Structure 1
């Protein structure tokens, strides 16, 4: 991790840019140093370095050491102690807000729905759905996207969420040896045929049948999608994944040839297909 990464992470945990630079300078010094040395080592302007150090002292990230002639040196709180303290403060704030925030939130006039402008936004919002699930998750994804989400999928299963994943193509099992979720590979229809028909890689992520992310990744690198907390839409998205999984299981049990025969000879099934051919392209 670069020094810039360290500074950015400290800022994400609540420090200002100057505070992060000053703290890192104190830690790197290995001994108490005065404000002049902090400014010289960190790049914090001399005009603001003492104000910055005062803020670090106020938050408990540094300590003042009074020396001879009223000279003041500064000593950092050791990094492991700082991180433990920040973690406790963060966890305490989250716990307090879990109780406090719902009491001030007005009931929405309508279930939220919003567009997702690109692939990164879509995967980030899908991660939110994965993190928020408490009962069940349904995913229909391609290996490229599953690799980005597998850590959060595994975490959800680890906290007791029932996870069902449909993959379009061979993908690494996100559950590893834990076997705490269910993964199905899409063979009927073949992923290549699906991609040829749609022209993009569809992604569906549904949490607790109350919120969903649905979108697509184009072959040219483009991506589009929506997030919705409309339970009716989320339920339909979950049923899409559930029924696709059921079809894969059925094809494995009775054989693809028998399913092809049924699709080819039943007018009702042909009408639902809408293309006058069996699902696997036959």
Structure 2
């Protein structure tokens, strides 16, 4: 009968044999009355003793066994079941749900609010590329996050803001007339916003879709590397007509 409550068939047979006996039994007698193989009897009895379902005693150097009274078994199983239910109720399983939609945003104020909220929610890393005036809008948040252990990296079109050593400046050439305003924010390698100006108004996309996040992260690192190279070898590049022609084609 106990196999309905998670006990094995042999364990159930041992308990039934002991519960129906008028007196304690040794292992040999349990084998006879339960039908459990002799080779398995001591292993099964030991498990039942550990589970508190069987009591053991030693009489004249012989181990004797008796069953826990059925009312106590019912109380024990009921108590354990209720305890398991309480533990299950307290165990909150949080399934990670990733919104892989690509959302469109318009209006400078709405895009700015999204950037601010994402920065404030960052736990591990912030990667931000933008023009100098945009960096100054979010400078207090970026400094606070950096102070609290969040890694802050970025590329700034203009001068590097004070207090953010991982921000690399990129100063466009006077001939770089095609360079357009943009904002790229990647938070915790989880969510990205890319914004640009189209027809004189800001438009953006926001997504947690990992393929897009990886693409924009690669884009960020390429941008970062390009800023470092042009900053370090600016004099050489200015005198290389072929490279400068290519650089001047960049919009972002």
Q: CA deviation at 1:193?
A: 5.0
2:231 aligned with 1:252:
yes
Alignment-derived partner of residue 159 in structure 1: 148
Contact 2:160 2:167 in 1 (8 A): no
Alignment-derived partner of residue 48 in structure 2: none
Q: CA deviation at 1:112?
A: 3.0
Alignment-derived partner of residue 168 in structure 2: 184
Q: Residues 133, 106 of structure 1: CA spacing in aligned structure 2 closer, same or farther, 3 A cutoff?
A: closer
2:105 aligned with 1:116:
yes
2:178 aligned with 1:210:
no
Alignment-derived partner of residue 197 in structure 1: 178
Alignment-derived partner of residue 15 in structure 2: none
2:206 aligned with 1:238:
no
Q: CA deviation at 1:150?
A: 1.4
Q: CA deviation at 1:205?
A: 0.7
Q: Deviations over 1:190-222 (max 9, x none)?
A: 3x655x315x411101112221110124684x2
2:207 aligned with 1:228:
yes
Give me the whole-angstrom Cα distance separating, in 1, the residues matched to 2:138 and 2:97.
31
Q: Deviations over 1:14-51 (max 9, x none)?
A: xxxxxxxxxxxxxxxxxxxxxxxxxxxxxxxxxxxxxx
More helix by share: 1
Give me the whole-angstrom Cα distance separating, in 1, the residues matched to 2:231 and 2:125.
24
SS in structure 1 at match of 2:113 = helix
Q: Deviations over 1:152-197 (max 9, x none)?
A: 2112212111111211123532x3xxx5x4121112x43x655x31
Matched residues, number: 159
Give me the whole-angstrom Cα distance separating, in 2, the residues matched to 1:107 and 1:135.
19
Alignment-derived partner of residue 44 in structure 1: none
2:126 aligned with 1:137:
yes
Output the aligned Cα RMSD.
3.0
SS in structure 1 at match of 2:161 = coil
Q: Residues 157, 119 of structure 1: CA spacing in aligned structure 2 closer, same or farther, 3 A cutoff?
A: same
Higher CA-based Rg = 2
Contact 1:138 1:242 in 2 (8 A): no
Q: CA deviation at 1:133?
A: 2.0
Alignment-derived partner of residue 44 in structure 2: none
Alignment-derived partner of residue 158 in structure 2: 169
TM-score by length of 1: 0.48
SS in structure 2 at match of 1:246 = helix
Q: Deviations over 1:44-69 (max 9, x none)?
A: xxxxxxxxxxxxxxxxxxxxxxxxxx
SS in structure 1 at match of 2:129 = strand
Q: CA deviation at 1:248?
A: 2.2
SS in structure 2 at match of 1:197 = coil
Q: Residues 201, 252 of structure 1: CA spacing in aligned structure 2 closer, same or farther, 3 A cutoff?
A: closer
Mind listing any 5+ residue stretches in structure 1 that lack a counterpart?
1-98, 265-269, 271-275
Contact 1:260 1:279 in 2 (8 A): no
